[in-house]
Structure 1
């Protein structure tokens, strides 16, 4: 079927015109309204001078305006480059140039940081950006206000304009970004047909139907946000409840108010839910499943509803468990793919030799949604694929066979990166920036455990003789001053004279990760002792 996301939205709007598609604290939009407004905005973007195939960077939060802009671009054939509002000069400059972006969407009220002024500065450095569209705020001279796009032409004219856009299931829908271990994120083209199919497959895995309601409080423009919250309404006709930020008490209120059936999350949500003591004050009986990256057993015990772990990678694999699958699979693995056409293998990381179930190896996969190629990066593509087209994730897993079905338990990463609440930090990139600091002779960045984010960054520094160590705050100011995104800055510093090395003389980051984990555990034990006294 040669269907696009725009086709799917039009069909769902015809089937459920008055059903809420997206709900936020600010507004509710029905499928008919969503279809009409995205037609108006999509045609207006073309009228401004953008053309199908043009790229547009997105620095927008989780709100209904972002939904409208994204689906308008999908209809017009404009390709969102899924940057995030936290990116700064380093990331936006490089990604804008590499993607060839001609437009930049920014949210004026996202935070205290002035994204509008930032976009204007970035356009001076990259004149290929012809249009800046300001969402949720005042548009200064030289930019376009989002609200004006809705009134640019009558709906009938907008629909005629969009009829001329020739798109199919194999056309690029969006440019997603990898969480690569080194340097800047790589660009991953994702396609109309495979995103529709991928969203339908994971929904089937979690027993999500047209009558379900999903809640989402993390970035919606991420791969996870689009597959878990943006696409299911279009594909199935269900309702997504959107939150602009993680707020556990408000989340529970919304679950009760809107009879949410499925909570989908990555990052810090599960630990914060577990820490929330007033859970019994909320009626969350509508929930059929809550899915998280880890600790699902503890979360299930706390919430009293089925919970399962998940796994997702932007290169194209989603794994999880249905609420009625075995407890071991839900709590002690990251599940299995919901797509019957996905092939998952565990390979020796140094070869293409399969690893037996029960033994740790590298998770590899291929299927309808798996990476075909990184955009403009043949070398990275070649390194990432096996000779028969399986994508090498760099994630180490153990395959467990339960009742004849394979489930995969995450053990750690082969590559050198940090997963801070779902945001990937490439260690080599940050180390390069830290090493520019006048006090620093050398820097190594490692993951340290964190109860809320899962991992945070710890910097091990060797200082120049006679120089004082920077504080965490001053180092962050230095790094953001260099244009690095704030979430990539280390949140602890350890000063050392040398680094541990392996038997072959390489820096032993495994030992460094163990060192900081042991220090944090000892500090926690000491704090617990003081509190008990």
Structure 2
């Protein structure tokens, strides 16, 4: 039987014709994620699925405990396609919670521990979750369990499930839920959902403050990962390492779906430490490593690379910084580009340096259609000119969840998704490769965490000392970008310091990673010829200021 077994209002599905085509050409995997885990457990029951700190779990153990959790979730009253908010870190417990939901037909809302009242509140209103998974130690000094309890009460979420055996009154223990079902047969969900049904709600940073919701489906998600990882010559049982948030789209693809597709071991690092990263590569004989954001320069500048045996490592792939990493480690490294809306571009281990270092690579699937269009237009730019990256294909977004107005502006008339990213295409060795040129929209990408500025500016405008404020990206050597706030101060008031503004925004419920990390005061904002705010001029202004400060500092120390 083809097609989703149970549709969700607000989700845009592939047409029957698209589904038939992508299934026929093997771009979609005709199984669910739960079935993929069951098949891996049957084929390689004793193989280690995950390593995290001192803990290991085999595929058979993972399959059994997630069967028990799925049964426990149904026992709590969670039903098919109920949503569950997730605020969990990079851990085996997060993997167990995810696969328990996949098997029960409960849809994870893939939030992150850094989200606070604004983001969680909006996501809760949109998705109406019935469960809330939280990891007790994922918030650092912030009490995530208490926060989850507060948000659950505020938004009518009946079940909060936390790691730890004593999470507190009114909160279920994840471990206790699993233990309460000593043995459980796999749920028979064959009549409830299939491979074309929704498996997870992923999130997009977007140009607005609160993430938009991206439905991902069993069949296309697995197929997407297969096309991507095959580019790196991954094979049965390959060992990978993951040191980033597991609930991000990239984390889900590399550390969750890759694991069951390739029956592969994944080393999870809950806390980033570059020395431990190299230690675990050596200890676990890692073959494939993926990194983004601030980790890349830390890897490239690690002074003790020669102390580690990295002979097992076949390749390392990163969003940017491959040349520096390869120069420092001697490991074949590859730049790539990925977007949660469903496209990955990458080179291969055999690609020449011109592709691996000088571009973000090529499309992974021949079924991905990529166009570079004149911004906001529908005409393609000539080869070699910069244009807006637009695409459609087997795993591409067909519509954000319950967002018809956003969807109307997000696609071309013939169904290509508009990314807002500018790319330049060129031909290398008979391959069309793409070079990232920047973004059209006002997102900030702080070490891989993408966020818009709309909600930040809305809160800044309510500050008693500020007449108006705009937030733009400023360059940063470690994180790539950070937020800079340009403020117009009210007459008779002093501008807040970075710390004071941060305290104000945190108190209003803004996530910490979105806080402006520099303030520039001004009397007015630059405008374009048609009188609109010129954000590009603000970005250029702060970049120039930072460059001048760096030169001045260098001259002082010379």
Shared fold per TM-score greater than 0.5? yes
Match of 1:7 in 2: 35
SS of structure 2 residue aligned to 1:332: coil
| Alpha-carbon shift at residue 525 of structure 1 (Å) | 2.1
| Alpha-carbon shift at residue 160 of structure 1 (Å) | 5.1
| Alpha-carbon shift at residue 503 of structure 1 (Å) | 2.2
Match of 1:113 in 2: 142
- The answer as to whether partners of 2:165 and 2:175 remain within 8 angstroms in 1 is no
Match of 1:98 in 2: 126
| Alpha-carbon shift at residue 137 of structure 1 (Å) | 5.6
Taking a change above 3 Å as real, the CA distance of residues 136 and 406 of structure 1, as seen in their structure-2 partners, is: farther
Match of 1:27 in 2: 55
Q: Is residue 511 of structure 1 aligned with residue 537 of structure 2? A: yes
- The answer as to whether partners of 2:226 and 2:261 remain within 8 angstroms in 1 is yes
| Alpha-carbon shift at residue 332 of structure 1 (Å) | 1.2
Match of 1:153 in 2: 181
| Alpha-carbon shift at residue 266 of structure 1 (Å) | 1.6
SS of structure 2 residue aligned to 1:494: strand
Aligned with 2:467 (options 420, 434, 441): 441
In structure 1, how many angstroms separate the alpha carbons of the residues matched to 2:409 and 2:390? Answer: 13
Using the TM superposition, name which of 523-532 and 188-197 deviates more. 523-532
In structure 1, how many angstroms separate the alpha carbons of the residues matched to 2:268 and 2:323? Answer: 25
SS of structure 2 residue aligned to 1:369: coil
| Alpha-carbon shift at residue 308 of structure 1 (Å) | 1.1
Using the TM superposition, name which of 283-292 and 414-423 deviates more. 283-292
Alignment of 1:459-474 (within 5 A): 459-474=485-500
| Alpha-carbon shift at residue 165 of structure 1 (Å) | 6.5
In structure 2, how many angstroms separate the alpha carbons of the residues matched to 1:216 and 1:494? Answer: 37
Q: Is residue 395 of structure 1 aligned with residue 424 of structure 2? A: no
- The answer as to whether partners of 1:76 and 1:165 remain within 8 angstroms in 2 is no
Match of 2:243 in 1: 217
1:421-464 residue CA offsets vs partner (Å, 9 max, x unmatched): 11112112211111111111111111111111110000010100
Q: Is residue 79 of structure 1 aligned with residue 107 of structure 2? A: yes
Unmatched runs of 5 consecutive residues or more in structure 2: 1-28
In structure 2, how many angstroms separate the alpha carbons of the residues matched to 1:87 and 1:371? Answer: 24
CA RMSD of aligned residues (A): 1.3
Unmatched runs of 5 consecutive residues or more in structure 1: none
| Alpha-carbon shift at residue 136 of structure 1 (Å) | 3.2
| Alpha-carbon shift at residue 138 of structure 1 (Å) | 2.5
- The answer as to whether partners of 2:74 and 2:104 remain within 8 angstroms in 1 is yes
| Alpha-carbon shift at residue 5 of structure 1 (Å) | 0.5
| Alpha-carbon shift at residue 237 of structure 1 (Å) | 0.7
Taking a change above 3 Å as real, the CA distance of residues 327 and 345 of structure 1, as seen in their structure-2 partners, is: same
SS of structure 2 residue aligned to 1:388: coil
Match of 1:351 in 2: 377
Using the TM superposition, name which of 290-299 and 214-223 deviates more. 290-299
Q: How many residues align?
A: 529
Aligned with 1:289 (options 315, 335, 338): 315
1:402-427 residue CA offsets vs partner (Å, 9 max, x unmatched): 11111111110011110111111211
In structure 1, how many angstroms separate the alpha carbons of the residues matched to 2:446 and 2:191? Answer: 39
Alignment of 1:27-66 (within 5 A): 27-66=55-94
In structure 1, how many angstroms separate the alpha carbons of the residues matched to 2:476 and 2:109? Answer: 30
In structure 2, how many angstroms separate the alpha carbons of the residues matched to 1:346 and 1:166? Answer: 40
Match of 1:480 in 2: 506
Match of 1:338 in 2: 364
Aligned with 1:306 (options 332, 340, 363): 332
- The answer as to whether partners of 2:48 and 2:56 remain within 8 angstroms in 1 is yes
Aligned with 1:142 (options 170, 175, 183): 170
| Alpha-carbon shift at residue 502 of structure 1 (Å) | 2.0
| Alpha-carbon shift at residue 60 of structure 1 (Å) | 0.2
| Alpha-carbon shift at residue 492 of structure 1 (Å) | 0.4
- The answer as to whether partners of 1:75 and 1:162 remain within 8 angstroms in 2 is no
In structure 2, how many angstroms separate the alpha carbons of the residues matched to 1:138 and 1:489? Answer: 33
| Alpha-carbon shift at residue 285 of structure 1 (Å) | 2.1
Q: Is residue 189 of structure 1 aligned with residue 218 of structure 2? A: no
SS of structure 2 residue aligned to 1:511: helix
1:481-510 residue CA offsets vs partner (Å, 9 max, x unmatched): 001101111000001111222222222211
Q: Is residue 323 of structure 1 aligned with residue 349 of structure 2? A: yes
Match of 2:279 in 1: 253
Q: Is residue 416 of structure 1 aligned with residue 442 of structure 2? A: yes
- What TM-score do you get using the length of structure 2 for normalisation? 0.93
SS of structure 1 residue aligned to 2:175: helix
| Alpha-carbon shift at residue 172 of structure 1 (Å) | 0.4
